[in-house]
Copies of this chain bind each other. A is one copy, B any other.
Amino acid sequence: MTKKHNIILQPSGRRGQVDEGTSIRSAARELGVEIESICAENATCGKCMVLVEAGRFEKYNIESSQENLSPVSTEERAYLERRPKLLKDKGWEIGQVRLSCQAKICGDVLINVPEESRGNKQIVRKSASNREIEVKPAIRKYLVSMSPPTLERPIADWERLAKGLETSMGLVRGGEEKLPRWYDFDIDYACLRTLAKTLRDAKWNVTVTVRNDKEVIAVQAGYHEDSYGAAVDIGSTTVALYLCNLRTGEVLASESEMNPQIVYGEDVMSRIQYAIDQPDGLEKLHKAIISTLNKLIKQAAKSVHVKLDEIHEMVLVGNSTMHHVLLNLHPKDLGLAPFVPTIHKSVDIKARELGLHINPSGNIHILPTIASFVGADTSAVILAEEPHKQDENWLLIDVGTNAELVLGNRKRLVCTSTPTGPALEGAHVEYGMRAAPGAMERVHIDETTLEPKYKVIGVTGWNTDHAEFTGQVKGICGSAIIDSVAELFRAGIVDSRGKFKKDLNSKRVRQGESGWEYVIAWKEETSIGRDIPITQQDVRQIQLAKAALFTAARTLLKRMDLQSPDKIILAGGFGSYIDKEKAMLIGLIPDCELDKVYAVGNAAGDGARIALLNIEKRNEIDAVTRKVERFELPTDPEFQNQFMLATSFPHMSEPFEHIAHLIPNRKADPLAKNFMK
């Protein structure tokens, strides 16, 4: 009978008995601890390094010693001696640090598996849920060493490689699941075309990149450890790309750029119209985004010295119009009733078919759309925030020119969308501007003096904190517009219908060129040499936007038979900057405990990255989106009525208990009694 020895694995504390002669890596797997390996246990990748602790460990009743392992082999020593700096930095010594694929157990040992050697890496994402994301990419690499063909064994290049790959995959992955046989592997055509030359140039030692444990998409001479992928969020305004290491999950570089389609139309409806009106409209829109994507990929890759050919996968998200234009699908029916996308299901397509300049055999995965105005970006937000795994009812709101809303829990999800107009992003507001240096980002109005104070991007503190504050303000960005309107209401400068009161004792409230207005910054404080006011028109814009958003949320709550959500999650840049109390005060979001309102930043981009790093998440979101119930607001009979009522501050039918203390003269408001239940 084979002798057995004790092995203890730290930091997990897993322990057990294994046969003499078992490698540490195999022993660890038997005990449920995955240790990395890329080189198919050839002692060349060093991913599986572990530390052997020497001494008596009473707790486990063992005596661990470096002598209880097979001696350091020539290959192992060669590997470690090539890395003196690494050992020195970590304070490790040869003998103490072992390659777990090489070191065999011949006595009791306590082994420390350092973080970097652990398999199934996890990355932590900052979000409402602070979840860990398991790194389980579609793309994996294997080192394959073959014997060259001979007259006696003239088997073809592909079959030789496939057999080698079966062996390597088996060694690296062990018995973790049923792995494919060599004849089940496929090879992408573009990759096949260069296979013969690559194998010979590489002297039959290659790194093979495999997609979905099935398709070989790249063969590189020699040993290559890392694989790269890009996650992209195509917004109507901004395209953001994250270049990731698919093995570690790390974001190596981020790049963003204006969406070049803006020259063909500022919002999705005008771009759809452009595609309808111009014979080559779609082609122009499509080429514009492809060329921007290629530019971003190139910049990102260059910045971290990754070759474009080493980028093997891309995951893209975007609203339904961006999704269609990316795929060169005509967006016409997205903009015309009954508002139907060409496809919901996620799409997989070769990079070369779309003309994206990553490895031509690489896969482009585009997340599913949910409805005409609830796109792949919303799917990504769902994937990032996981309302479908909650017992509570969560309301996800992604605000842009259009707002998408998803409400529900693990049993049921409903969604809708509503145009909110550009006001919430600071556009179409008289002195509105994007969040950039010189933009006001916070506004506060003293309810007694009616004097404002404000914060400007690029300047520390409030304007009033500076002895001399001049010439620095350029305009008002989205968050400050919401602040301003909320403050105007709170300070009693506008009434609950949004109208300026005309009898106030303040030179800031005045009749301007286009009607009544409130001056936030005198021209001396600006760099544009003019007073910067919030106008009646600006207030009206915000009222329309918030009414749309609020009515959409209320409609979903009603469908779910809920009075208010348990949690509100604001996705998108907009949500990160607004003051949630002010947003609730003007009735932009429904009543909810303030500390249950989260801003999660670019959750769509995060969702894209999650889908890039974890293959299982792609099936998950496809399945979830198949079940999401879609509601179109115009088909809701109460929509118009609700919308009109929702234009007031705040929506009076609501409890708004969490901001009640801020609402002036609520009971006295003559409109209050008109509001429906």
A binding-site residues for B, Cβ under 8 Å: 149-152, 154-159, 183, 187, 189, 192-193, 195-197, 200, 327-330, 332-333, 337-345, 347, 349, 353, 369, 371-372, 622, 626, 630, 632, 634-635
The answer to whether residues A369 and B156 also contact, given A192-B343, A196-B342, A329-B193 and a CB cut-off of 8 A, is: yes
Which chain B residues border A196 with CB–CB below 8 Å? 329-330, 332-333, 342
**Given A349-B189, A634-B151, is A197 in contact with B341 using a C-beta cutoff of 8 Å?**
no
List B contacts of A157 (CB < 8 A). 333, 340-343
**Nearest chain B CB to A324's CB is how many angstroms away?**
9
CA A393 – CA B630 in complex, angstroms?
A: 66
With a cutoff of 8 Å between Cβ atoms, the chain B residues found around residue A337 in the complex are: 151
Query: What's the number of copies of this chain in the assembled complex?
Result: 2
The residues of B that contact A345 with a CB separation of less than 8 Å are 158-159, 183
Residues of the B chain whose Cβ atoms lie less than 8 Å from the Cβ of A341: 156-157
**Closest chain B residue, CB of each to CB of A337:** B151
Closest CB-CB distance, A627 to chain B, in whole Å? 11
A327 contacts which chain B residues (CB < 8 A)? 189, 192-193
Considering the chains assembled together, what is the distance between the CA atoms of A159 and B152 in angstroms? 53
Task: Select from chain B the residue with minimum beta-carbon distance to A162.
Answer: B345
Complex Cα distance A338/B372, Å?
A: 58
A67 to chain B minimum Cβ distance, whole angstroms, is 47
What is the minimal beta-carbon distance from A146 to any residue of chain B, in angstroms? Answer: 12
Q: How far is the CA of A189 from the CA of B349 in the complex (A)?
A: 7
Does the CB pair B328–A183 fall under 8 Å? Answer: no
Whether B626 and A183, one on each chain, are in contact in the complex, defined by CB atoms closer than 8 angstroms, is yes
Q: How far is the CA of A337 from the CA of B149 in the complex (A)?
A: 9
Q: Contact between A189 and B353 (Cβ–Cβ < 8 Å)?
A: yes
21 contacts between A and B (CB under 8 A): A150-B338, A151-B337, A151-B339, A151-B635, A154-B339, A156-B342, A158-B343, A158-B344, A159-B343, A159-B344, A183-B626, A189-B353, A192-B329, A192-B342, A193-B329, A196-B330, A196-B332, A196-B333, A196-B342, A197-B330, A200-B333
Instruction: Please name the residue on chain B nearest to A344 by beta carbon.
Output: B156
Q: How far is B369's CA from A157's CA once the two chains are assembled, in angstroms?
A: 12
A152 to B387, CA, bound (A): 24
CB < 8 Å neighbour of A632 from B151, B156, B342: B151
- In the bound complex, residues from chain B placing their C-beta under 8 Å from that of A187 are 343
**Closest partner residue, chain B, to A150 (CB atom):** B338
Chain B residues lying within 8 Å of A349, measured Cβ to Cβ, are: 189
Contact among B156, B329, B371 for A343, CB-based, below 8 A = B156
- CA gap between A622 and B162 in the complex, in Å: 15
Q: A-B pairs with the 5 shortest C-beta distances?
A: A158-B343, A156-B341, A156-B344, A151-B338, A149-B340
| Bound Cα distance from A107 to B345, whole angstroms | 47
C-alpha spacing A330/B330, complex, angstroms: 39
Known: A343-B187, A345-B159. A338 touches B192 (CB 8 A): no
Complex Cα distance, B191 from A329, in Å, reads 11
Residues of chain B lying within 8 A (CB to CB) of residue A632: 151-152, 154
Q: Which residue of B lies closest to A371 (CB)?
A: B154
Q: Are B151 and A344 in contact (CB under 8 A)?
A: no
The minimal Cβ–Cβ distance linking A552 to chain B, given in whole angstroms, is 16
A197–B330 CA distance with the chains assembled, in angstroms = 9
> How far does the Cβ of A671 sit from chain B's closest Cβ, in whole Å?
31
A158-B342, A338-B149, A632-B151 known; A193 vs B328 contact (CB < 8 Å)? yes
A272 to chain B, nearest CB (A): 13
Residues on B with beta carbons closer than 8 Å to the beta carbon of A189? 327, 347, 349, 353
Distance between Cα atoms of A342 and B192 in the complex (Å): 8
Tell me how far the C-beta of A637 lies from the nearest C-beta in chain B, rounded to whole angstroms: 12
Complex Cα distance, B626 from A158, in Å, reads 13
Q: Which residues of B contact A342 (CB under 8 A)?
A: 156-158, 192, 195-196
Name the B residues within 8 Å of A192 (CB-CB). Answer: 327, 329, 342-343, 347
